[in-house]
A = this chain, B = another copy of it.
Amino acid sequence: MSRDWRLDELARVVGGRVHGDPGRSIRGVATLDEAGEGDLSFLTNPRYRRAAEASRAGAILVAAGVELPGRDLLEAKEPYVALAQILETLHPPRLPAPGVAREAYVAQTARLGQGVSIEPFAVVGDDVRLGDRVAIGPGAVVGEGCEIGEETALRPGAVLYPGTRVGARCLIHSGVVLGGDGFGFATTGAVHRKIPQLGRVVVEDDVEIGANTAIDRAMLGETRIGRGTKIDDLVMVAHGVTIGPGGLFAAQSGIAGSTRIGERATFAGQSGAAGHLRIGDGVVVAAKSAVLSDLDDRGVVAGIPAVDLKVWKRSQAHARALPEMRAKMRALEARVAALEERLKKKGES
């Protein structure tokens, strides 16, 4: 971060407008709790409204219509997007210096674009193709025949098995393994015979993959991650899965083999889907849930097995009502017994 900014300069960056002092000087961005006089903070989640009121921030980024009396505000149509823009403006990313470290291993048959950076103890195998400005972190391994598009970065220790293809502008974090063997065995008697896993992993452009996530190669053909999909840490994507563009897969979610997921799917934390399913566009799967059957476009589901979210909520309410139902049942039994007794007496009388 090189210099101070005026609040109205930042408003121009994000196409927003200032309520209050347009000349307010902004040195950085900080959370509501930690911001001081020279910081811009942000109120994008209503549950932090009190923190916003109590914050010592010099100015606060808000959505249209949000009022914080006595505050300098920067109003933006999409405040979360504006926050991203401001952070990029104040903290432009530092790229590693181009060049191949003396301590790296790069096969002679590898072809490197302009401005590639390869750090110590990285390995770039035979016949690899790296696009311009690709950055290979320390200890990362790019197996034989891999192709990586321009401006993609591999963080320390990421591993691409042979034949993996990664598009442009991707970010592959540490510990990610792309192209490990799918979990495929033919069981005969008591023996699980390995089925050779001969396919590959293809990651399209603008994908981010979080730390220690594993995406397995297909048995044949491809495991494919669509353009602009973002995958969190410790996620598992099994062999032959296809994930459409624009998806969000939160931490520790998992997709079993050969399942096909449409565009803009959201899988929340620790959720999963069984294998060989067709899951539509725009689906949302709640945290901890398990999709065990095909799912239509725009399905919003929860539970194990996952059902429509409304159905799930109703069933939760019913489950909570169970103690009361049992009590009512006992009362009813008593009333019926009383009626029977009474009728019996009447019949006798």
Contacts and interface: CB of A to CB of B under 8 A. Distances in A.
Interface of A: 29-31, 33-34, 45, 47, 78, 80-81, 83-84, 87-88, 91, 93, 101, 103, 105, 119-121, 123, 137-139, 141, 143, 155-157, 159, 161, 171, 173-175, 177, 180-181, 183, 185-188, 190-196, 198, 208, 210-214, 216, 219-221, 228, 230, 232-234, 236, 238, 240, 245-246, 248, 250-252, 254, 256, 263-264, 269-270, 272, 274, 276, 287-288, 290, 292, 304, 314-315, 318-323, 325-326, 328-329, 332-333, 335-336, 339-340, 342-343, 346
Nearest to A159: B174
B103 A105 contact: yes
Contact of A175 (B121, B137, B159, B248): B159
Nearest to A190: B246
Given A138-B141, A139-B121, A339-B340, A183 B250 contact: yes
A158 to B, nearest CB: 9
Pick from A194, A210, A236, A238 the residue with the most CB of B within 10 Å. Answer: A236
A220 to B, nearest CB: 5
Number of copies: 3
22 contacts: A91-B196, A123-B138, A123-B139, A141-B174, A173-B177, A173-B180, A173-B181, A177-B211, A177-B233, A183-B233, A185-B230, A185-B248, A190-B264, A192-B246, A194-B208, A234-B236, A269-B272, A288-B304, A315-B323, A321-B326, A329-B332, A335-B340
Contact of A319 (B156, B228, B233, B315): B315
A322 to B, nearest CB: 4
